[in-house]
Amino acid sequence: MNDSVLTPERILAAAEDVLRRYGPGKATVVDVAQALGVSHGSVYRHFASKAALRDAVLRVWLERMMAPLRAITAARSSPPTRLRNWLSALREAKRDKVLGDPELFATYSALAADAREVIGEHVDHLMQQLATIVAAGIKSGDFRQVDPAATAKAIFDATSRFHYPGMAHLWADPGEDAAFAQLLDLLLTGLAAAPAPAGQMPAVASGTRRKTVRPD
């Protein structure tokens, strides 16, 4: 098992493996070291504590999960479509994980419970992406004039039901798809620029109506 030099990367990979095999409660630093054929003292040369190792593993996992979302954020489809796709992708990523391998999902949920800081950063990243899409929608005239950051948070909050791991126990229900679609419709309607608002308009130059129609 002692292939090359001991690097943080090799330790991370081994840790992920051990975690997958043993579960979150039982995986020990000694196990990880053993998997690498080294003493557990060596692991502490690269990670300050078990918590630090745990955080690093979690970060890798979250990063992997976020990759498709980044792509959607940067896509060229219309902002409303992008928003729909992004939220659907977030939901499906979690849903597939929890339905596909409940144990592993539970493992990572357990990790996450003790890694508030990492989760905080993660959520911040997600909301920044949402805000980007919302801002694009305002610019294109598809969305009302709203505060992108605050609205991003509202959208994230509103969809928690479908992506927050603590609610995973509801995700196997048959009505879930319909409920999610219903919610998306409600949110997008709330976000849409009023076609011809009779009366009060936000006090902003309304020169940015929807200009181009892009393929969805």
Partner DNA sequence: TGAATGACAGATTTCAAATATTGTCATTTT
Partner DNA sequence: AAAATGACAATATTTGAAATCTGTCATTCA
- Positions touching its own copies (CB under 8 A) are 144, 150-151, 153-155, 157-162, 164, 166-167, 178-179, 182-183, 185-191, 194-199
Which residue from 28, 128, 160, 206 is in contact with DNA, where contact means CB under 7 A?
Answer: 28
Q: How far is the CB of 74 from its own copies (least distance, A)?
A: 24
Burial of 212 (0-12, 13-18, 19+ CB in 10 A): exposed
Q: Is 191 in contact with 143 (CB distance < 8 Å)?
A: yes
33-92 positions binding DNA, by CB under 7 A: 33, 37-42, 44-45, 48-51
Residues with Cβ within 8 Å of 127's Cβ and at least 6 positions away in sequence, in order, are 149, 152, 153, 156
The vertex-82 CA angle with 198 and 191, nearest 5°, equals: 25
Which residue from 29, 83, 126, 193 is in contact with DNA, where contact means CB under 7 A?
Answer: 29
Q: How far is the CB of 177 from its own copies (least distance, A)?
A: 13
197 binds, among its own copies, DNA, none (CB under 5 to 8 A by kind): its own copies
Radius of gyration of the chain (CA): 22
- How many angstroms separate the CA atoms of 158 and 156, rounded? 5
Q: From residue 171, how far is each of 108, 114, 122, 163 by CA, in Å? A: 17, 23, 22, 9
Q: Of the two residues 26 and 209, which places its CB atom closer to DNA in the complex?
A: 26
User: Is residue 21 a contact residue for DNA (CB under 7 A)?
Assistant: no
Window contacting DNA (CB under 7 A); options: 27-35, 100-108, 154-162, 181-189: 27-35
Contact residues for DNA, defined by CB under 7 A: 5-6, 25-26, 28-31, 33, 37-42, 44-45, 48-51
